[in-house]
């Protein structure tokens, strides 16, 4: 009888230990890889973690992305793509190859069409070869000389017509290569930092940008729906996702209003927004594009967890 009690006690101890070990193992996995559901394909935007603060290398960014369960590191130039592929990742959206601040010289201004189409076309070719899905594009600043706010302004009607014309030309090449061009809507309200807002950008109205894309009418010309920029300019995020579900090709995040972490100090209900993206059948990537204000790894872990719904 005593032997039986000893046996049962030892079995209970072993079982309890196994359960504890299993629980610890699950918790460790969750801490190392918060993107457990994986219904939202998340991407790490390279410039946010390379340009400021700790200045992560492309290797480190890829290692972090992979460790967090993010299948992509994006907005990284072709010179980084061998490293991205080495880590088994993709570049979900590529820069368009325009020098300087690429959002200043866009399709609204015909004097830049030839250069934009040539440079973006080469990036489309490179993306097709690398089997990467998309490349970014911009409307551009509203002045005929983007560097001079005192130069003549481009009218909204002209901007619309110019964007449609240029994007239709680019669409033919994008369709042939199977690469999507995503035009980004940006906010003009925040003038505190050149990467937090873009006063003068002519594509600051979401309806304007979406109307351009619908007029182009190509499955390879889509919208980059940046949650941060849309919230600053319009709000009403869930309804706007529904209204634009036919043209959304890529998504970006950041905390509002400061473009910092996706934490308790910002106003967007990110889990609800991610659930809406799932509800509309969005299967593209969501790029984490916040500017770190504290430990970048801790902030990125928090953001990835929050968006894993």
Instruction: Please indicate whether residue 118 is annotated as part of the active site.
Output: no
Residue 212 main-chain phi, psi, to 5 deg: -60, -50
Q: Comparing C-alpha atoms, which of 203, 93, 187, 185 is closest to residue 140?
A: 203
CB 224 within 8 A of CB 185: yes
Distance in angstroms (rounded) separating the CA atoms of residues 135 and 102: 12
C-alpha to C-alpha distance for 172 and 141, rounded to whole angstroms: 25
Assess contact for 172 and 217: CB atoms under 8 A.
Answer: no
Q: What is the largest CA-CA distance in the chain?
A: 98
At 95, which helix (H) or strand (E)? Answer: none
Is 289 an annotated catalytic residue?
Answer: yes
Catalytic residue among 31, 184, 242, 264: 184
Q: Are 76 and 56 in contact (CB under 8 A)?
A: no
- Within its chain, how far is the Cα of 151 from the centroid? 32
Compute how many other C-beta atoms are within 10 angstroms of the C-beta atom of residue 79.
8
CB 287 within 8 A of CB 251: yes
> Cβ distance 123 to 83 under 8 Å?
no
In order of 65, 240, 265, 280, 300, the CA distances from 275 in angstroms are 22, 14, 21, 9, 19
- Is the Cβ–Cβ distance between 158 and 111 less than 8 Å? no
d(CA 201, CA 195): 12
The residues carrying an active-site annotation are: 184, 289
């Amino acid at each position: 009888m005593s032997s039986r009690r000893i046996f049962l006690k030892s079995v209970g101890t072993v079982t309890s230990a196994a359960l504890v070990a299993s629980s610890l193992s699950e918790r460790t996995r969750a801490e190392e890889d918060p993107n457990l559901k994986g219904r939202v394909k998340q991407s790490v935007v390279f410039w946010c973690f390379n340009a400021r603060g700790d200045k992560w290398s492309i290797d480190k960014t890829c290692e972090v992305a992979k460790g967090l369960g993010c299948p992509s590191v994006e907005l990284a130039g072709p010179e980084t793509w061998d490293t991205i592929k080495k880590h088994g990742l993709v570049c979900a959206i590529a820069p368009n190859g325009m020098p300087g601040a690429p959002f200043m010289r866009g399709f609204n201004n015909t004097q830049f069409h030839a250069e934009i189409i040539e440079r973006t076309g080469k990036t489309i070719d490179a993306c097709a070869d690398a089997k990467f899905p998309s490349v970014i594009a911009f409307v551009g600043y509203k002045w005929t000389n983007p560097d001079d706010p005192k130069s003549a302004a481009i009218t909204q009607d002209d901007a619309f017509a110019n964007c449609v014309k240029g994007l239709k030309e680019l669409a033919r090449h994008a369709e042939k290569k199977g690469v999507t061009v995503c035009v980004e809507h940006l906010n003009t309200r925040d003038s505190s930092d050149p990467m937090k807002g873009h006063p003068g950008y002519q594509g600051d109205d979401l309806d304007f940008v979406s109307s351009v894309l619908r007029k182009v009418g190509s499955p390879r010309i889509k919208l980059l729906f940046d949650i941060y920029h849309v919230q600053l300019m319009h709000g009403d995020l869930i309804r706007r996702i529904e209204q634009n579900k036919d043209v959304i090709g890529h998504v970006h995040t950041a905390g509002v209003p400061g473009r910092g972490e996706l934490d308790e100090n910002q106003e967007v209900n990110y889990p609800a927004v991610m659930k809406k993206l799932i509800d509309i059948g969005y299967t593209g990537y969501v790029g984490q594009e916040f500017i770190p204000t504290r430990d970048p790894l801790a902030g990125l872990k928090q953001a990835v967890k929050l968006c894993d719904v």
